[in-house]
Amino acid sequence: MRNPWSRSPASPSRPATLLLISVVLSLAIQFPAPVTLPWLQRAGIPVVTSGPVQVGTSFSPRHATYLGLDWKESYRRLEGMHFKVIRLSAYWDQVDQEGYDQLDWLLSESVGSGQPVVLSVGMKGLGWPEFYIPPQLQPRTPDGGDVGQDPVLRAAAVDFVSATAGRYRDNPAIVAWQVENEPLNPAGPHRWFIGRDLLAAEVAALRQVDDRRPAIINAFGHFNMLFDRASNRSGFDLRSLLGFESDTAEAHSLGVLGKGDILGLDVYTEIGYNFLGQEGVSHAGSDWASKAGHWRGIALEQGKQAWITEAQAEPWEASMNSYGDPRSTAAEDIHSRFASIRAEGFGTILLWGAEYWLWRADNGDSSWLDAVTGILAENSSASSLLPSS
C-alpha cells in the first residue's frame, strides 16, 4: 500500500535500522518453501484448493478523499462490485471530533444494499499513521513501547470499543468485529504496539456488548525472515529465529481469540524501500503463502477460523513519486498472488487497494480494477457471509 494514508515503507512504521538491514539482505537471500498442503492433509485439516472464495476488500473514506475521490460515490461503486465483505474502520480521533456521522452513513448504506461489513474498532485503524488516538489522550509511551501500559489511554480505548459496538450491534450488515488493526505489530511514527493484556480487555468488552458475532484479530503475515524480525516487537529474537512460535503476533492473537473467532493475516509480497537515497523493491521469501497456510492449520486445530484480511493488490512504493507508475508490483500480479493464497485453503480473502483501483481507473488505467473484477466474477457463486433469513 502507499502514501501518507496506507502503509508506507518511506514512513517510519518499523524500526528503521533493522528494516534497512532486512530489506537489503532479503534481496540476496532465498528461503526454501516448506510443503504445506500435504502436511495439512496428513493432519486431517480440510484443504480447499478449488471452489469459490469469499472475496472482500477494505475501504477508507480518508484515503479515497486523499486521492481526490468522492468517498460516498467510491463506496457505492464498491458495493456495485458485489464483494462478499467490505472492511471498514471506526477512526477514534474522527469520532471524537466529529461524531459517528460518516460511519453511520456507511453502515446505513450497507444495510440498504445488502453489503456485508467487518467493522474494525479500537485505537489502531486501517492505514497510516496506524494509531488514531484523540489528541487529549496521546500517551507518553516511548518509541517501540506498549501503549496499553498507559492507564488513562487503556481505559478510554476499552470504553470506545464498548460504545462503538453498542451503537452498531443491531446493524444487520455487520458480520464480524475486528478488534484493533495489527495490534501486536509495531507501527506508526512511534512504532508503538498494543500489548496482549489490553487486547484481551478490549475483546472482553466487545463480548459484553455482542457475543453473537465472531471477533477478528489480525497480524502482519510472514514476509521474509529478516523483515519479520524487524517488524517483531522483540526485534531479532533468537527463539523465533530457531523456529519457536509462541511469542509471535499470530500465536498471541490466537491466544486471545475464542472458538469460532477469526485469525486475520495480512500478506504482501513486494515492498518498496529507500536505502541511503536509493530506492528498491524487497521480495517476500518463497514460503510466504505456505506460512500463512501453516497458521490457518493451527487456527483450525483450535476450533477457530483464518482469513486473509489483507492481500496485496496495490503497489507498496518507496515513495509517492512512483505511486502512479509503480515499481513494486503490477496489476497482473494480483491473480497469481490470489491463486497462491487460495491454494493454501483460505476461503475468505480480502484484497487491499480498493481506493487505488478506482483512482487508477478514473485516470485512464482500468487494469487494476479489471483484475479484481475478474477474480470476483470467478468467485461470484461463493456463499454469502450474511446469515440466512
- For the stretch 331-386, pLDDT in tens is 999 999 999 999 999 999 999 999 999 999 999 999 999 999 999 999 999 999 99
Q: Tell me how far apart the alpha carbons of residues 307 and 227 are, in angstroms, rounded to a whole number.
A: 22
- The grid coordinates listed for 338 are 490470489
**What are 178's strand-pairing partners?**
120, 216
Residue 24 confidence (pLDDT): 39
Residue 299 confidence (pLDDT): 98
Site of grid cell 509511551: 141
Contact 58, 66 (CB under 8 A): no
Q: Tell me how far apart the alpha carbons of residues 185 and 72 are, in angstroms, rounded to a whole number.
A: 31
Q: Tell me how far apart the alpha carbons of residues 223 and 220 are, in angstroms, rounded to a whole number.
A: 9
Residue 106 confidence (pLDDT): 98
Contact 127, 6 (CB under 8 A): yes
Residue 260 confidence (pLDDT): 98
Q: What distance, in Å, lies between the first and last C-alpha atoms of the chain?
A: 37
Instruction: Give the count of beta carbons closer than 10 Å to the beta carbon of residue 236.
Output: 15
Residue 231 confidence (pLDDT): 62
Instruction: Give the count of beta carbons closer than 10 Å to the beta carbon of residue 165.
Output: 23
Residue 23 confidence (pLDDT): 39
Query: Among 17, 87, 66, 51, which Cα is nearest to 266's?
Result: 87
Segment holding 307, helix H or strand E? strand 305-312
Per-10-residue mean pLDDT for the chain, 389 residues long? 40 37 37 34 44 97 98 98 98 98 98 98 97 97 96 98 98 98 95 97 98 97 74 54 74 97 97 88 94 97 98 95 92 98 98 98 98 98 87
Residue 32, class by beta-carbon neighbours within 10 Å (0-12 exposed, 13-18 middle, 19+ buried)?
Answer: exposed
Domain residue ranges of the chain, discontinuous segments joined by +: 16-378
**57-to-16, 311, 343, 374 alpha-carbon distances in Å:** 29, 9, 19, 14
Helical spans, DSSP H, in 7-83: 16-26, 36-42, 61-66, 71-79
pTM of the model: 0.87
Site of grid cell 501500559: 149
Beta strands in 28-129 (DSSP E): 54-58, 85-89, 117-121
User: Helix, strand or coil for residue 218?
Assistant: strand
Contact 188, 178 (CB under 8 A): no
What CATH number labels 16-378? 3.20.20.80
DSSP at 330: -
Q: pLDDT per residue over 111-129, tens digit each?
A: 999 999 999 999 999 999 9
